[in-house]
A and B are shown apart, each in its own frame.
Chain A
C-alpha cells in the first residue's frame, strides 16, 4: 500500500515570497491533516479536512496561509507571503475517519527555509 506522498521535500525561499506544498493521502482515507513542526517542537495542527470539507482550521494563520482539498483527495497548502517564522517542516497526514481512535499516517514532510 502506498503511503502519504508529499512534494517538494525541501524548499528555500526569501521572505515575502509565496510557496505551495502538495499532498496525496493514502487511497480511501477520508481525513487529511496539515501540521507545522518547528524544530524542537511537536507537530501543530494547522487544518483538518473530512473529504473536501474543512473540519478544523482554528490554528491556521488565515491572513497568509490557505489550503484546499480538491475532490476530496489531493491537497495543497499555500503560504503567501512567507515570514521568517514560517521556517519549519510541514507534515501531511491522513486517516480513515474523523473519530479520535483512528491512526494517522504521516508523509515525509516538506522542510521550508525562509531567508
Chain B
C-alpha cells in the first residue's frame, strides 16, 4: 500500500535559518503530494501541494518540488520565523483507489528568536 516517511523531529532552528524537512513516499501510479501544517491550538490546514512530477508547490515562502525519480517532496524555506513554529505533515492522495490519503507522522518545528 501507499506510505509516507517524514524526517523525524523535533527540529529546532534559530530565526532566519534555512529549513529542510524531508519527505519520501511509496505509491502506485501518480499520486498528488501535499504539505499540511498545524499551528499550536489550530486545525490542520493546507500549506502547499503538487499534483504531477516536477511541479513545485509554494506558499508563505515555503517550497517543495515533486521528484518522481527520487519519490520525494522535501519542504524548504530559506529564512524561518518564530511564527513558523508548528507541526508539518507530508501527505499523498493516490491516483487510484478513489484518491485515498496517507499522512506521515509529522515533524515538529520550533523556531527560536
B100, A106: Cβ atoms closer than 8 Å: no
CB neighbours (8 Å) of A93 from chain B are 44
Given contacts A101-B32, A106-B45, contact A42 B95 (CB under 8 A): no
Residues of A within 8 A of B24 (CB): none
With most chain B CB atoms within 10 A of its CB, the pick from A99, A101, A102 is A101
Contact B32 A100 (CB under 8 A): yes
Q: Which residue of A lies closest to B34 (CB)?
A: A103
* 15 further interface pairs, Cβ-Cβ under 8 Å (given A91-B44, A106-B36, A108-B42): A42-B89, A43-B89, A48-B100, A55-B98, A91-B43, A93-B44, A100-B31, A100-B92, A100-B94, A100-B99, A101-B93, A102-B93, A106-B43, A106-B45, A107-B43
A56 within 8 A of B: yes
**How many of A's residues come within 8 Å of B, CB to CB?**
26
Docked pose: A104 CA to B102 CA in angstroms:
12
Interchain CB contact under 8 A, A100 and B46: no
A33 touches B98 (CB 8 A): no
11 A-B interface contacts by CB (under 8 A): A35-B103, A40-B105, A42-B4, A42-B89, A42-B103, A45-B102, A55-B98, A100-B31, A103-B34, A104-B46, A105-B46
A16 at the interface (CB under 8 A from B): no
What residue in chain A is nearest B27 (Cβ atoms)?
A100
Chain A: CB-nearest residue to B100: A56
CB contacts under 8 Å to B, within A63-115, are 91, 93, 98-109
Q: Say whether A62 faces chain B, with CB atoms less than 8 Å apart.
A: no
State which size class the interface on B falls in. Answer: 20 to 34
In the complex, residue of chain A having the shortest beta-carbon distance to the beta carbon of B90 = A42
Would you call B93 and A100 a contact (CB within 8 A)? Answer: yes
> In the bound complex, do residue B43 and residue A101 qualify as a contact, i.e. CB atoms below 8 Å apart?
no
Decide if A98 touches B103 in the complex (CB within 8 Å).
Answer: no
A100 to B31 alpha-carbon distance, docked (Å): 7
Known: A101-B51, A104-B46, A106-B45. A42 touches B100 (CB 8 A): no
Question: Is there an interface contact between A98 and B46, defined as CB atoms closer than 8 Å?
Answer: no
State A105–B36 Cα separation when bound (angstroms): 10
In the complex, what residue of chain A is closest to B6 when comparing beta carbons? A42
